[in-house]
Amino acid sequence: MSLTGKPSLTTAAPVANDGFWPDLSLSDLMDRYRIPSEYADDTISWGLSLALVRVNEQLDRAKNNVLAMPFESFDAYLESMTILYGKPALSVHYEHAVYSYAKAFLLQQFSTMNRRKEAVNEAKESAETEQYWLDESKKSVAAIMRKFFPEEEHSTKANFYVELM
Handedness of CA 116, 121, 127, 130 (dihedral sign): negative
Helix (H, G, I), strand (E, B) or coil at 19: coil
For the cut 60, the answer to whether the pLDDT of residue 9 exceeds it is: no
pLDDT of residue 165: 43
H helical segments located in the chain:
26-32, 41-58, 60-67, 74-78, 89-109, 122-125, 127-148
For the cut 90, the answer to whether the pLDDT of residue 119 exceeds it is: no
Alpha carbon distance 114, 123 (integer Å) = 18
For the cut 80, the answer to whether the pLDDT of residue 64 exceeds it is: yes
What digits encode the pLDDT tens for the residues 75-114?
Answer: 999 998 878 778 999 999 999 999 999 999 999 886 555 5
pLDDT of residue 60: 97
CB 55 within 8 A of CB 130: no
What digits encode the pLDDT tens for the residues 11-46?
Answer: 667 899 999 999 999 999 999 999 887 888 889 999
Name, in order, each residue with C-beta under 8 angstroms of 153's C-beta and a sequence gap of 6 or more. Answer: none
CB 45 within 8 A of CB 26: yes
pLDDT of residue 12: 62
CB 100 within 8 A of CB 137: yes
Domain boundaries, the chain: 14-148
pLDDT of residue 37: 77
What digits encode the pLDDT tens for the residues 121-163?
Answer: 565 667 888 999 999 999 999 999 999 999 998 887 766 544 4
For the cut 90, the answer to whether the pLDDT of residue 51 exceeds it is: yes
Q: Closest by alpha carbon to 55, among 140, 160, 157?
A: 140
